[in-house]
Amino acid sequence: MFDFTIEKTDPSGARAGRVRVRGHTFDTPVFMPVATQATVKALTQAELIGLGAQIVLGNAYHLYLRPGIGLIQQMGGLAAFMRWPGATLTDSGGYQVFSLAPLIEVSEDGVSFRSHIDGSEHLLTPESAIQIQHAIGADIIMAFDEPVGYPADRARTLEATERSDRWAARCIEAHEGRSDQALFGIVQGGFEPDLREASARRLTEMPFDGYAVGGLSVGEPKEQTFDLLAHTAPLLPADRPRYLMGMGTPADIVRAVLSGVDMFDCVLPTRVGRNGTAYSKKGKINLKNAQYQDDPRPLDPDCDCEVCTTYSRAYLRHIYKAGEILAARCVSYHNLYLYLRLMERIREAIREERYREFAEAFLLSF
C-alpha cells in the first residue's frame, strides 16, 4: 500500500525518488500545498492540478473542529469531500493544539484544550488523533506529538520529547491493522542535539512508514535550524521518506534538500500572497511598495505562469491596494507556481548529479 523508491542520490546527499500510496504517486523532493481546512486558500482544485500539485496537506485539528469528522466521513473522506484527485496528508494537530488553542491541561493521557472557534472543551490523545485521521481518510497520517517553542529550557524539552516518543508508540498501537493509510513518526527534541538524537533513535525502532523532523522554524535563528536539521536527518532511515514539517521559503527548501529531505509543506506561498508579497527567482516583491505603482513588468520577468504572462506589477499593486479578491488569487497562484517549478528543477538537478552547483547558484541569486 505504501512504497518509497529512491531513484537517484546526488553526491551532495540530495535524493530524488517516488512515493506510491493507495493508488497515488508523487515525486520527491515534493512540496505539498497546505489545504488546512480542505482548501488551499484562494485557489481551486482545478488550478492546483494545472499547477502540477501531486499531494496536498490538511490539518486534523481544524477539520475535527470544523466541519467535523462525521461530515467528512459521510462525504467519503477528505479527498472526495474536496474533490481532490491526488494524494493527501493530514497533520495530527499537535502543533495547532499547542500554538492556537487555549490549553487546559497537558498530561500523559493527552491534551485538554478549548476550541479557538467557540471555546468548547476537548481532549486530544494519541489514540483519538489517530482515530480522527482514520475517519478523515488521508493517505498519509501523522503521529501526535508535543512540540516546544523557542526558547525552551532543557528540562521542559526533555519532558516534552520523551512524552512525544511515548505517544508515538501509542499511535503505532492505535494504527495497528490499518495498512490502507501510511503513518509517519515525528522526531522532536527542541534545540538540544542530543535530545533529537535520542528521539530519532527511539522512533526509528518503531515501524513507521516515514519520519518527520518537527519542532523547527518556531522562532530560533535560521542557522540553528539548519544545524539541527543537518544533525537529525542523517539519523533517519535512508529507505524511508524524510519530511521537514512547516517550512519554508524557497531558499530554505533548497538548503534542506542538501540534508536529504524528501517532503515539505508551508503556508508561506499563499499566506504572503494574500498579503501582497510575491516570490521571484531573485527574492521577494512587496506590492505594498510605491515603487511598483507604475511598473509595467510582470512579477517575475523569468516566469511563464498565467499571472506573469497577463498582468503587470502596476495592475496587481492597484487591485491589492483596492482590496480586490483577484489580487490574493493572482499572487498566491504565482507563488505556488514558483514553488512547484522549483521542485521540478531540484529533482532534475539531482538526477543529473549537479545539485550542489544548482543550490549554490540559487542561493546566491535569491
Amino acid identity, residue 219?
Answer: G
Among 10, 165, 265, 300, the one annotated catalytic: 265
Of the candidates 332, 267, 347, the one whose C-alpha atom is nearest the C-alpha of residue 56 is 267
Of the candidates 194, 196, 227, the one whose C-alpha atom is nearest the C-alpha of residue 213 is 196
**Is 180 assigned a catalytic role?**
no
Q: What long-range pairs does 234-240 form, CB within 8 A, spacing at least 24?
A: 234/259, 234/260, 235/187, 235/196, 235/197, 235/200, 235/201, 235/204, 236/187, 236/200, 236/204, 236/211, 237/204, 237/211, 238/6, 239/4, 239/6, 240/4, 240/208, 240/209, 240/210, 240/211
Q: How far is CA 96 from the centre of its chain?
A: 13
User: C-alpha angle 212/213/219, rounded to 5°?
Assistant: 140
**Is 265 assigned a catalytic role?**
yes
Amino acid identity, residue 19?
Answer: V
Q: Which three cell numbers stand for residue 57?
A: 496537506
- Distance CA(187)–CA(228), nearest Å, equals 11
Among 10, 91, 165, 262, the one annotated catalytic: 91
- Distance CA(151)–CA(75), nearest Å, equals 42
Q: Which three cell numbers stand for residue 305?
A: 505562469
Catalytically annotated residues: 91, 265
